[in-house]
Chains A and B, each alone.
Chain A
Amino acid sequence: MRGIAGRAGRRFVSSLPALFGVLVFTFLLMRVLPGDPAVFFASGPNAGQAEIEDIRRRMGLDKPVPEQLLLYLRDIGTGNLGRSMTTGQPVLNDLRNRLPASLELTFCALLIALVLAVPLGILAALRPGSVVDHGVRLLCTLGVCVPTFVSGLLLIYVLYYLLGIAPDPTGRIDIFASQPPEVTGFLLLDAAIAGEWEAWWAAASQLILPACTMALFVLAPLARMTRASMLAVLTSDFIRTGEALGLSRRRVILVYALRNALLPVITIMGIVFSTMLGANVLVEKVFSWPGVASYALDALLSSDYAPVQGFVLLMASIFVLVNLVVDLLYGLADPRVSIG
C-alpha cells in the first residue's frame, strides 16, 4: 500500500513540469491567435480608439507579452484565474459552477459505455469470427464513425420528436422541475441526498440522451480493448491450468480471464475519460448542456483569454488526476506493479 502511495506521489511530482508547460503554451497560443479582445469587448462597432486603448490597459494587454505571462503566473499562484469578459464572473466561479455538469455527464456516459462494452468485448472474444464478433465490430465502427452531433440529433429526433419518450433536450433539468438544494453540484447526487426523487428522475431523464450519445462514441475503444486483451488472456498458460484442473467455465472466464483482461482496460478507461471530458463540446452544444467545454468554446470564439486558459489548466489538472487514479487502481488490481 505504501508502495502505491509513493508511486502516486512520484507520478504527481513528475507531472508538474508538464502542467507548467501546458500553462505557458496555452498562454502564448492565445496571444498568437487572431482577434483582439479589446475590440471585441468595446461597447460597440463605433467605439473610439481611446475606449479600446482604455479596455486594453484595464485588461493588462498593453504590457509586453513576457510581463503578461509573469503576471498571469502570479495570478495562478494566488488562485486567481482571471475574469471572464463574456459572463463578467471570475473564471474560477464559472468553472466551479459548470464542471459538475460536465463531470456528471461524463461519468454517466463512461458508466453506460463500460456496462455495454465489457460484456460485448467478452462475447466477441469468446467466439472470435462468429456473428456476435462481427456484430460487435459493426456497432463499434458505427459508434466511431458517426459524429456525436449526428448521433445526438438522431437520438433526439427518434426519442423526443417521433416517440416523445425523452424530455425536451435542453439543459440539465426540466425548467419546471424544482432544483434540489446544491451540495455537490451533481444533480443526481443532490436530489438523492435531499430525497427528492421527482427531481432525480427529471435530471436522470435529461441526462440519459446526451450520456448515451457520448457512450456510443467511446464504446469502440473500450469494447475493442476488452476483446483484444481477453483474447490474449484466454490463450495464456494459467487459463489452460484452470481448464486442466476442472474449474467451471464460468469461473475460468469471469475470475481467471476477465480480471486479468481488465488490467489494460483500466488504462484505456483513464484516457477515454479525459478525452470525453474535454471533447464533449459537441454533445454539450447539441443538448444545451451547461458544461465547461461549451463555456470554453464560447470564450474562444469571443477571444476571451482568461476562460480558455482556465479551461485548459483545468483539463490538464484533471488529466493528471485521472492518471493518478488509474495508477492507484492498477496498483490495487495487479499485485505485480507495486513492487516495480
Chain B
Amino acid sequence: MSALLEVEELRVEFGTRHGVVEALRGVSLAVGPSETLGIVGESGSGKSVTAFCVMRLLDRAGRVTGGRIRFRGEDITRAGRRVLAPLRGAAMSMIFQNPRAALNPIRPVGLQIADVIRAHEAVSAREARERTLALLEAVRIREPARRLEAYPHELSGGMCQRVMIAMAIACEPSLLIADEPTTGLDVTTQKAVMDLLAETTARRGMAMLLITHDLGLAAQYCGRIAVMEQGRVVEEAAPARLFGAPGHPYTRRLVAASPRRDSTVAGLVGEREAAPVAPTGRRLLEVSGLRKEFGGVAAVEGVSFHLDAGESLGLVGESGSGKSTLSRLVCRLLDPTAGNIRFEGEEIGAIPAGRFHRSPWRREIQLVFQDHGESLNPRFSAFDCIADPLRRLLGMREGAGLRARVAECAERVGLPGELLGRFPHQLSGGQKARVGIARAIAPGPRLLVLDEPTAALDVSVQAVVLHLLDRLRREAGLAYLFVSHDLNVVRMMCERTIVLQAGRVVEEGRSDALFATPKARYTAELLAAIPHFEPEAEPALG
C-alpha cells in the first residue's frame, strides 16, 4: 500500500525574538489511503506544527529547514501557490480548533461553504447552493435550508464545527486533517462530532490525520497513533499496543497521567493513594431554592444542595447547564433572583454582589479560575498576584509579614520562591495555575470554588495540579465546589457530585455510586460520551 501522505525527517524552525526555536526535529509519518492516524502529545510537542506544515499554513516566522512532505507521491515541501491552490480544500483539507473563530463572522455559513465549492469547481451559484444544502444535511444540521443564511454567532460551537466539516469535505478531498476538532466542545457534542467525522471519512474513503491531546479520543477513533514529544515522534503503534504496553517512557508517563474510569489522583502522578477524607458532618454551605434569571430566562432554577466543611462537591453539566452561573452565585459574584445561600448558617445571598468584597465573608470564599493566564493581572508579578488579596482582604501592610505569608503560600502550592518576581507571561501554564491557586488560598478561605481549574492544562500538568489541589484540601480542611466538564476528574476529586441540566439538578449522590450506576438518563449519556481509554477498546472506525 503506497502512502497518501508521507512526511520524512521534517525539520521546522521558528525565528523568534529570543533566537531560533526548533519546533520539529525530524518528524516522519505516513498516512495510507482511508486510514486514520492520530497524533497525540502535549502543547509544544509540535503536533499542530506538523499539520500546518503539511497544509503549508505556517506563519512567516516558521521555516522548513529539512525533510520532505510528499502527497500522493508528489513532493510539496516547497511547492508554490500554483501547485497548492488546487490541492488545498480539494485534495486535502483541514478543520480547526475553536470552530466559531475559524468561520468568517460576517458571512452567512451557506455562502462560506459555497465559496469553497466554487473555488475548485466551475459551478453556478444555484448549483453551489444546492450542493451546500446537501452537505449541511450530510453533516446532520437540523433545518439546513434555514441555516444557510445563519451567521456563525447564531450557531452553537458544535454546529459551527459541523459547518466547518461540511466545508472541508465539500470537494471530496482524500485527506482530512483535524486539529483538535473537539477541544472546547461539550462531551456529548464531542462524541457527536467525532462520530460524524469517523463516519464521513469512512463512507467517503478519506484518510484522516487526527491531532489531539486527548489520549482517549485518539484511542477510540484512530487505527494508529503517533506520540510526539518536543518535535519528535517518540512512539507509533496501534492504540491497543500503545496503551497496553507503552514502550517509550514519555508514552508511559502520558498514559499514566490521563484520567481513566478507575484512576485516582495519586495514581496519576504515580504515588500511593491517600486515605479518603473523613466526613466532618459540620454544615458549611447550604443552598436552597436558588434561582437566577437573565432577561426573564432562568439559567439556574430551584437548585438546592449543601456542602460540609472539608468536603468536596463536584458540579458537572454541559455548557448552558448553569454550572458557571451557579458557581458565580455561590462565590457571590452574581445576585440570585430568588433563594438562599447560607454560609456557616449566615445568609450571604442577601449581600449584594457589588458590595460582597467588603463583607468579612469574602476571605472565606475564594475562586480558582479556568484560564490561569487571563485571570492574572499581566502587570502584577507573581508576588503581587498572591499579595493582592492579603493587602485588600486582610489589610496587611508591606513588610516582612506580608513577604513571609506570600512565600508560605507559594511553598504550599509548590511554586519555587525565585519565580515570585516573574510576570505571568514569563511563567508556564502549570506555574500560572499554581499562582492562581496560591492567590485563592492566601486569605485563608474555608471554601474554594474551582471553575474548571485544569481545563486549559496538558494532562501531565493537570495530573500534578489535581494532586496539589487534593493535598491542599487535606492539609487545610478546605471545602471544594469543583466545577468541571471532565467527569473522570470530578469522580477523582469529589466525594459527592451534582449533575446539572438546563439549570436544574438531575442527579445528586456519592461520586463512586453515581458514576458506577447513574440513575438519571442524562448522567448515563454524559458517561457514555467519554472516549474509551481501555486498551481492549476497539477503534470505532466505519
A: residues with CB less than 8 A from B are 235-238, 240-249, 251, 255-256, 259-260, 263, 333-336, 339
Contacts and interface: CB of A to CB of B under 8 A. Distances in A.
B103 A248 contact: no
B85 A246 contact: yes
Given A238-B101, A240-B96, A246 B90 contact: yes
B245 interface: no
Contacts of B90: 246
Contacts of A259: 106-107
B57 A238 contact: no
A124 to B, nearest CB: 16
Most chain A beta carbons < 10 A, residue from B84, B85, B94, B104: B104
A240 B104 CA distance: 10
B346 to A, nearest CB: 38
Interface in B85-129: 85-90, 93-94, 96, 98, 101-107, 115-116, 119-120
B119 A260 contact: no
Nearest to A263: B106
B167 interface: yes
B99 to A, nearest CB: 9
B103 A249 contact: no
Contacts of B96: 237, 240-241, 244
28 contacts: A237-B102, A238-B101, A238-B103, A240-B96, A241-B96, A241-B102, A241-B104, A241-B164, A244-B96, A245-B119, A245-B168, A246-B84, A246-B88, A246-B116, A247-B89, A247-B115, A247-B119, A248-B85, A251-B115, A255-B107, A255-B115, A256-B107, A260-B104, A263-B106, A334-B105, A334-B106, A335-B106, A336-B106
B153 A243 contact: no
Contacts of B57: 240, 243-244
Contacts of A243: 57, 88
A333 B101 contact: no
A221 B277 CA distance: 63
B106 A260 contact: yes
User: Which 9 A-B pairs give the minimum distances between C-beta atoms?
Assistant: A246-B89, A245-B89, A246-B88, A237-B101, A244-B94, A238-B104, A237-B102, A335-B151, A241-B102
B295 to A, nearest CB: 12
Given A236-B101, A246-B120, A241 B167 contact: yes
A255 B57 CA distance: 19
Contacts, number: 82
B258 to A, nearest CB: 28
B81 interface: yes
A243 B88 CA distance: 8
Contact of B103 (A241, A244, A334): A241
B198 interface: no
Contacts of B88: 243-246
A249 B102 CA distance: 17
Most chain B beta carbons < 10 A, residue from A240, A244, A335: A244
Contacts of B167: 241, 245
A333 B104 CA distance: 13
A256 B112 CA distance: 10
B55 interface: yes
Contacts of A251: 115, 119
Contacts of B55: 244
A246 B86 contact: yes
Nearest to A262: B106
A247 to B, nearest CB: 5
Given A237-B96, A243-B88, 11 more contacts: A238-B102, A240-B57, A241-B96, A244-B93, A245-B93, A245-B168, A246-B88, A247-B115, A256-B104, A335-B105, A336-B105
Nearest to A235: B59
Nearest to B98: A237
Contacts of A334: 105-106
A236 B87 CA distance: 22
Contacts of A237: 96, 98, 101-102
A335 B153 contact: yes
Contacts of A244: 55, 57, 88-89, 93-94, 96
Nearest to B153: A336
Contacts of A256: 104, 107
B164 A248 contact: no
Contacts of A336: 105-106, 151, 153
A259 B115 CA distance: 15
A155 B210 CA distance: 62
A95 B383 CA distance: 62
Most chain A beta carbons < 10 A, residue from B57, B96, B115, B167: B115
Nearest to B100: A237
Contacts of B153: 335-336, 339
Given A238-B103, A256-B107, A249 B87 contact: no
A255 B101 CA distance: 16
Most chain B beta carbons < 10 A, residue from A242, A245, A333: A245
Nearest to B56: A243
B151 A245 contact: no
Most chain B beta carbons < 10 A, residue from A240, A255, A256: A240
B392 to A, nearest CB: 33
A260 B105 CA distance: 8
Contacts of B170: 245
Interface string B267-311: 000000000000000000000000000000000000000000000
Contacts of B105: 238, 260, 334-336
A278 B222 CA distance: 66
Interface string B67-90: 000000000000001001111111
Contacts of A248: 85, 119
A248 B115 CA distance: 10
Contacts of B104: 238, 241-242, 256, 260
A102 B96 CA distance: 51
Contact of A246 (B102, B107, B119): B119
A244 B94 CA distance: 6
A91 to B, nearest CB: 44
Nearest to A336: B153
A243 B168 CA distance: 12
A340 to B, nearest CB: 10
A263 B105 CA distance: 12
Contacts of A335: 105-106, 151, 153
Nearest to B101: A237
A66 B305 CA distance: 64
A256 to B, nearest CB: 5
Contacts of A339: 153
Contacts of B106: 259-260, 263, 333-336
A241 B104 CA distance: 9
A243 B87 CA distance: 11
Given A240-B57, A240-B96, A335-B153, A245 B102 contact: no
Contact of A240 (B84, B87, B102, B115): B102
Contacts of B86: 246
A333 B106 CA distance: 8
B81 A249 contact: yes
A237 B57 CA distance: 11
B103 A246 contact: no
A265 to B, nearest CB: 14
Interface in B108-167: 115-116, 119-120, 151, 153, 164, 167
A151 B63 CA distance: 46
Nearest to A259: B106
A308 B55 CA distance: 63
Interface string B318-335: 000000000000000000
A281 to B, nearest CB: 38
Most chain B beta carbons < 10 A, residue from A236, A241, A248, A339: A241
Contacts of B164: 241
